[in-house]
Amino acid sequence: MSNNKVYWRGTEELEKDPAFVKNADKEFSEELPIDKFLSNKDLDSTNTSRRDFLKFMGFGITAATLAACETPVVKSMPYVVKPDEVMPGIANYYASTHFDGYDYASILVKTREGRPIHIEGNKLSKTAQGGVSARVNSSILSLYNKRRFTGPMKEGQSMDWATMDGEIAGLLNNVKNSGGNVRFLSSTMISPSSMSLIGEFKTWMESANVPLDATEEAAPSSASVNHVMYDAVSSAAMIEANKNTHGIAAIPSYHFEKAKVIVSFGADFLINWINPIGFARDYANGRNPEGGMSKHYQFETVMSTTGSNADIRGAIKPSEQGAAVAMLGNAIAGMMGNGGSITASLVNDDNQVESKLKDAASKLVAAKGSGLVISDSNDPNVQAIVNGINEMLGNIGSTIDFSNTMNLRKGSDTEVAALIGEMNAGAVDLLFVMDADPAYTLPSAWGFSDAMAKVKNVVSFAEKPDATSQSAKYICPVHHFLESWNDANPFGNEVTFAQPTINPINNTRQWQDSVLTWMGSADTYYDVLKRRWDAEVTATDDPSVIFASKWNKVIQDGVGSMPMPEMAIVPVFNAEAVSSAASALSKPIDGWEVAFYVKAGIGIGSNADNPWLQELPDPVTKVVWDQYVAMNPADMMSDAFQLNTLMGEQQRAGMVRVTVNDASVELPVVSVPGQKRGTIGVALGYGKGYEGDRLIGENAFAMLPVTQGYIRYSAPATVEKIERRYNIASTQTQHTMMGRKILNETTFSEFKSEGREHWNPVEMLNDAYGNKVTMDKLDLWAEHDIDLGHRWGLSIDLSTCIGCGACVTACHSENNVPIVGKDEVNRTRSMSWIRIDRYYSSDADPEIHGGIDQDKDYQAMEIPSEYPEVGYMPVMCQHCNHAPCETVCPVAATTHSDEGYNQMTYNRCIGTRYCANNCPYKVRRFNWFNYIGDSKFADLNPSQDNLARMVLNPDVVVRSRGVMEKCSLCVQRVQAGKLDAKKAGTPVKDGSIQTACSSACPTNAIAFGDINDKGSNVRSQAMNDRAYHLLEEVGVKPNVWYQTKVRNSEHNADHTA
Amino acid sequence: MQRESAIREPLILGDKSYHDITEDVCAPVEGKANKYWYIVFSISVMVALWGVGCILYTIGRGIGTWGLNTTVAWAWDITNFVWWVGIGHAGTLISAVLLLFRQKWRMAINRSAEAMTIFAVIMAALFPGIHMGRIWMAYWVFPLPNQFGSLWVNFNSPLLWDVFAISTYFSVSLVFWYIGLIPDFATIRDRAVKPISKMAYSVLSFGWTGNAKAWIRFEEVSLVLAGLATPLVFSVHSIVSMDFATSVIPGWHTTIFPPYFVAGAIFSGFAMVQTLLLIARKVLSLESYITVQHAEYMNIVIVITGSMVGVAYLSELFISWYSGVEYEGYAFMNRATGPYWWAYWSMMTCNVVTPQLFWFKKIRRSFIASFVLSIFVNVGMWFERFVIIVTSLHRDYIPSSWSMFHPTFVDIGIFLGTIGIFFTLFLLFSRFFPVLALNELKSILKSSGENYKKQH
């Protein structure tokens, strides 16, 4: 049926309104005023002429054409659903743990928009105590390393995980069914969960196979699983000696803060030895001139960072270490009436070591129970005597704590040697290698690479290509630690956690997850961890945390503690072990020796491809981007070598060939005053990193000798000059202070007995009337209003600065400081905003000639002593209140802020460099090239790599070429801190804002804060007697103060006690 | 008619008439250039092009192509700048100061000296421009109204004073030079036969008629400009010296700098005039006008200003010791005995020792000796600026930052390039402009011309 409904347009149609009907068929019911419009006179008077029409059309076409042109498209991926915790512009911090088998630190990872960009210390950790080292905070850049594996590989071919899992599970089943040996080889593993996972794996492998046929009897598997740990820099002898002398096969914890006298034989405990970050903080806490100050003796071969900080340093040959320890023991025993005497003597005592040892002995005896003697030797006999000395002095239990053992070094030289034996015998069917590069770090004497070739299947859990993964059949690449879950038990009952801070960048997998998958487990490692610690962990300082959220709490804090076994560990001293060690002590040898040491930046080489670390100047030599032979300048100038001791753009270093047994390396020689005469030092960890295409240095691990089963870090060597020269780049080419008051220092006894005017006089100048007045009375300029509002400043304690360089890399990370490479550093164009000046003392008398012949004095003062004292001085922009840079800039690109900054306006700068010339501190850095685009820096500067530039801090602009830059006192952090305080409605709390350098400093030597805040730490430091301004007499009124360095260096040269 | 004592040596040699002067001066402009001109010109242009290439490379890639570094952030760039500015002092001094002192001998040399000034100042002005990290922002040094809000230049900065000093000096010198050229252009215009050159010189001569009224005004304007230019001769280099004197760097922070720099500038300027004119004299056959008498007068100025510079050097040394300031004392000891001792002693030899030979009349009146010694002064004055800039910067307050400066090929290329550009411009000048102020010379022909002197 058809629809006959009728619809009306309105009541008018329904009612057939005449007015409506009349117009009903028209499109527009009302009359349109077209005629009126067209007849409008004004229309003719408008001036849109034909020409205008053409113009508009022309413009329109042109505009449309131009708009159709391609503009650069920047692709970005917006969040479809924004995660709650990610707020653009607001940083998130995640607690995590860094341990790469060598360096341990509990850390906070700063992430911005999901990208980790900076690492700071976690103050809740008792092990690292909130400090970081250069190696730790630089590890963030390794996350974005383009050399990392992008996915699993078999024999060089990419593979997917499923196939890989199938193959390896098959291999494991073969071993499980038909018997065989599976071995894990790793560096020291401190993760309790990983250790138990390997334990579970072992049980799973070694347990009976579940027979397919139920009637068959279950056969126990003949498979054997074993986990071998080793350390690239081994402490195995210490563990052995501790077992022999005290019955505990572990490394005790050390309390440097409690030690009044510290005697270290070669142990570089401030940047390398066992737990350097925590030790450095303890050490600094024990060296407060205003409180008490420990006395630190160091007897070593190479001028180490720790040795350079020692109050009294004695240079010994590496083979003399045993003798030196024995002599110390003899002296102490003599003084305590124990009479023990080990026959020991030094080969060549050109540094008064014997008298220094006697002095140390007397101080140790005087401070019985609060001394500390340590050694880095990997000779169990030496370590046993050291233990004997500590026992004799009653240090065990006070400064040395066996009840809380350090787990950071657990490697065993004997076990790894045994494993290599097994491998050589063809007895290992499957070898898993993780957190280690044994083919690189093990001495070639052990022939690991050859042994590896005899293993049928090697699975490498490497993060990036290394010597081991190169010849491994399977590569199951692992996450960077910032992408991983993990736990760690560094010492005692402390447990710290690692959590991912970013989704995995590459197609990688934690080895724990791989092992779980191969075991057929449905769990992930995260599940394993969470289950374990939900039950076991005790949350740190908050007992109110309810059980269910314990896990969340410890992950948030990054730190918790684990239950300890009930029975207390009591060390039982075995004097017999010491005396037998004494009788077996090896004698010092004559002739050249090489000492192998570890550098602050490169470490054991695991991050040798990290440009921040390569460009970090070595604390002592200030050399970047190269490995070298460290030699005493007196030896270099001797007839045998006649080498150039100078450094600089056109001072090419001479080279030598160093031969140890059959292996030899050819390396440039760098003059290192303080290096024991007749010895050289060669750094480990090289031959791994690249500068562009250049492989840097040689692998010195391969040259390490093995004696009595222990890897030794020194060897007799032949050193011969070769006729080649090599460019070495150093950030500092003049090594002494030239008698100026730059790094002001005094001795502890003077500091205690004399007034300030004696050791830190206030700078006075004559005014126009000849009256002595202080610098603030002499002003050419009107004073800035410095007492109003904030006045940010720094105070740097030269007594506790150890020169490690953690602040330098932290600054690079925070402020996007470009990496410029060796050639540019060689041209004195390092871009670091903070540099650490290192000064050697000189024997020269500044006034021996005087007058017209004073040039002779000056020339003599340029030459450091043969065995100098060393001082470190971090220098950054001093933020002068009367800044010489500000007055000379023609375009006012650098100006003074109301808050005490000298601030740099990059986009106003035209680059005349006048400011840099007029800066007395030479802290301004010029962008000589376009570092983010110039081809010279393509393989150097991380900012030129699309992946690595993810590490850039979005709060800090990347500077363009031709502008000046310099330390900004981390103004972006201060602004953020002020905003936080403003939101909270409170004044800025002292300590709530930290600069990158002050937060990174492991010894708290750098204090940042508001000088106008009466209660601030920085103000109290800046006002104390040790404070002074660098170059105060220039009158620039800096906002950076330095605290006079105090050395506890008095010693009785001819001690007869 | 002014009369001149008979015992004064004539300033115009030979039997010259007014017409001869016109012929002699116009000859290079009207005639064809000889082979030597083309050879020298080609070399200059090639060197200039090499310099331009180096400049473009610098602008394209960055200041890093130079040898500068964090410690020594100025070196050859500012050395060359000050050197060229110094050279640019002689022209104005000769035309302005000597005009005021009514020294007639200036007339033979003032035109080329002024041309040299103009070209030298152009070369000098190049360096502050190209040494900027961002030369495309160079206009920011001018106090221009801008869209950046209240952004203004920093009037405290000596670099800004430089901008004003150099630009003022350049414009006044240019105007002065050009005013002097007008009657001579008119002479060439009147003699020109080719239509293009006739037209060009007509435009250049601004419709000069040569009537008495024009001459009166010409004289008056010259006098006024001389009055304006004279203080500038002293102010420019004083202000340039303040780039250093107002800083805090030992070796720069010295109150003696303004007079010392002015003396040095006149010294180097006269030496460069001497160098150029002794060549021009031979090449352009102007032996009758540029006489041994002129050379001697200039040598006297050189020996006097050279001695002033020497006194300044010694005062600096004395004061650095007498002040008792550690850094100051070291800075000067380092200059003489440090790694750059060779630069210091080159400076001392060329600026203080060798010019003293001009006390001997024989040497003073020898063209060869004058030429050789003028080259010494040019070299010495370059080293003076190098010593002041580089040896003060390379070892200042903080010993850890001490460094050295090593020039790159770009540094050298740009320096040589500016010499090339300078000579290119000067050679073009000698072909197209009257190299002597011929109309002015005519005014002294009857008083100082050799044959007229003989007649009286």
pLDDT in tens, A1039-1052: 999 999 999 888 76
Task: With beta carbons under 8 A apart, name residues in chain B contacting A1031.
Answer: 397-398
For residue B284, being part of any structural domain is answered with yes
Asked whether the beta carbons of A461 and A471 are under 8 A apart, the reply is no
Structural domain containing residue B237: 18-437
Is A221 a residue whose pLDDT tops 70?
no
Residue B295 counted as domain residue: yes
Report the gap between the CA of B406 and the closest CA in chain A (Å): 8
Among chain B residues, CA nearest to A650: B406
Residue B413, CB half-sphere, CA atoms under 13 Å: how many?
17
Please compute the mean of the pLDDT values over residues A261-285 and round it to a whole number.
Answer: 91
Q: What is the pLDDT of residues A303-354, one digit of tens each?
A: 999 999 999 999 999 998 988 998 898 888 888 877 667 777 888 888 888 8
Q: Which of A738, A828, A889 sits opposite B70 (nearest CB)?
A: A828
Q: What residue ranges do the domains of chain A occupy?
A: 1-75, 250-406, 591-730, 745-1047
What per-residue confidence (pLDDT) applies to A1057?
A: 37
Closest CB from A733, A740, A855 relative to B337: A855
Q: Which pLDDT value is given to residue B287?
A: 83
Residue B13 within a domain: no
**What was the pLDDT predicted at A1056?**
42
Which of B131, B133, B157 has its CB closest to that of A889?
A: B157
pLDDT of residue A1055: 44
A573 or A815: whose pLDDT is higher? A815
Token pair, residue A568, equals 């207390």
**Which CATH number fits the domain that encloses residue B135?**
1.20.1630.10
State the pTM of this model. Answer: 0.88
pLDDT for A34: 79
Q: Region B357-363: what's the mean pLDDT?
A: 91
From the CA of B298, how many Å to the nearest CA of chain A? Answer: 36
Query: From the candidates A922, A1029, A1032, which should be mutated to test the interface with B, based on the most B CB atoms within 10 A?
Result: A922
Residues in chain B closer than 8 A to A839 (CB atoms): 399-400
Give the separation between CA A721 and CA A667, rounded to whole angstroms: 10
Over residues A454-471, the mean pLDDT reads: 90
Among A839, A910, A916, beta carbon nearest to B140: A910
CATH number given to A591-730: 2.40.40.20
Residue A692 has pLDDT above 90, yes or no: no
3-state secondary structure of A206: helix
DSSP character string of A10-72: SHHHHTT-HHHHHHTTSSSSSPP-HHHHHH-HHHHHS---HHHHHHHHHHHHHHHHHHHSPPP
Which residue type does A118 have? H
Could you name the CATH architecture of A745-1047? 2-Layer Sandwich (3.30)
Task: Characterize the bridge pairing of strands A91-99 and A104-112.
Answer: antiparallel
Q: Examine the pLDDT at B147 and tell me if it is beyond 80.
A: no
- pLDDT at site A3: 67
CA distance B266 to chain A (A): 26
Average pLDDT over residues B162-189: 90
**Closest residue of chain A to B157, computed from CA coordinates:** A888
Closest CA to A966 of A1034, A918, A1030: A918
Assigned CATH class of A250-406: alpha beta
A914·B159 Cβ contact <8 A: yes
| B249/A917 touch (CB, cutoff 8 Å), yes or no | yes
Asked whether the predicted pLDDT for residue B54 surpasses 90, the reply is yes
Q: CA nearest B153: which of A891, A884, A910, A886?
A: A891
Q: Which residues of B touch A830 (CB under 8 A)?
A: 70
Residues of chain A contacting B81 with CB distance shorter than 8 Å: none
Task: Please give the residue of chain B at the shortest CA–CA distance from A827.
Answer: B69
Nearest CA distance, B390 vs chain A (angstrom): 10
Percent of chain B with pLDDT over 90: 46
Looking at residue A668, its pLDDT comes to 94
Mind telling me how many Å the CA of A885 is from chain B's nearest CA?
Answer: 9
CB B263 within 8 A of CB B405: no
Of B73, B140, B397, Cβ closest to residue A917: B73
Q: Which residues of B touch A837 (CB under 8 A)?
A: 398, 400
Q: What percent of chain B has pLDDT over 70?
A: 99
Q: Confirm whether B168 is domain-assigned.
A: yes
Cα Rg for chain A, rounded, in angstroms?
Answer: 35
Strands, E assignment, A168-311: 180-186, 223-229, 251-254, 261-265, 295-300
Who among B133, B333, B338 is closest to A962 (CB)?
B133
- C-beta atoms of A927 and B158 within 8 A: no
Q: What is the pLDDT of residues A423-452, one digit of tens each?
A: 998 888 889 999 999 999 999 888 888 899
Indicate the DSSP class of residue B391.
Answer: I
Closest CA to A1003 of A812, A838, A803: A803
Q: What mean pLDDT is reported for chain A?
A: 87
Q: Do B133 and A911 touch (CB under 8 A)?
A: yes
Cβ pair B70:A930 closer than 8 A? no
Q: For residue B305, give how far its alpha carbon lies from the nearest alpha carbon of chain A (Å).
A: 27
Cβ proximity of B310 and B351 under 8 Å: yes
Query: Which pLDDT band holds residue A218 (cuts at 50, 70, 90)?
Result: low
Rounded CA-CA distance A617/A874 in Å is 12
pLDDT tops 90 at residue A540? no
**Structural domain contains residue B452:** no
Nearest CA in chain A to B398: A921
Please tell me the distance in Å from B319's CA to the nearest CA on chain A. 13
**Strands A653-660, A690-691: parallel, antiparallel or unpaired by DSSP?**
unpaired
Residue of B nearest to A883 (CA): B248
Predicted pLDDT at A565: 64
Please indicate, yes or no, if residue B449 is contained in any of the structural domains. no
User: How sure is the predictor about A264, in pLDDT bands with cuts at 50, 70 and 90?
Assistant: very high
CA atoms of A28 and B235, how far apart (whole Å)? 85
Q: Do B399 and A854 touch (CB under 8 A)?
A: no
Its ipTM equals 0.92
Residue B447 parent element (H or E) = helix B438-448
Q: Which of A489, A524, A271 is CA-nearest to residue A376?
A: A271
Which chain A residue's Cα is nearest to B252? A918
pLDDT of residue A345: 81
**Could B246 and A854 be called an inter-chain contact, meaning their C-beta atoms sit closer than 8 Å?**
no
Find the CB nearest B159 among A649, A858, A912: A912
The residue among A740, A817, A827 with the most chain B CBs within 10 A of its CB, best to mutate, is A827
Chain B residues lying within 8 Å of A927, measured CB to CB: 62, 133
B70 contact residues in A (CB cutoff 8 A) = 828-830, 916, 922, 924-926
**Do A877 and A921 meet the contact criterion of CB atoms below 8 Å apart?**
yes
pLDDT at A585 exceeding the cut of 70? yes
- How many whole angstroms separate alpha carbon A273 and alpha carbon A270? 7
Please answer yes or no on whether A962 and B132 come within 8 Å at the CB atom: yes
Task: Considering only the beta carbons, identify the residue of A736, A922, A963 that sits closest to B71.
Answer: A922
The pLDDT score that the predictor gives to residue B315 is 92
B-chain CB neighbours of A961 within 8 Å are: 62, 133-134
Per residue in A619-656, pLDDT (tens digit) is: 999 999 999 999 999 999 998 888 888 888 888 999 99
Domain count, chain B: 1
Task: For residue A938, list chain B residues with Cβ-Cβ distance below 8 A.
Answer: none
Among A621, A833, A919, the residue to mutate for chain B (most B Cβ within 10 A): A919
pLDDT digits (tens, 9 = 90+) for B395-448: 999 999 999 999 999 999 999 999 999 999 999 998 888 888 888 888 877 777
Mean pLDDT along residues A971-981: 93
Q: Which residues pair with A227 in a beta bridge?
A: A184
Q: Do A888 and B246 touch (CB under 8 A)?
A: yes
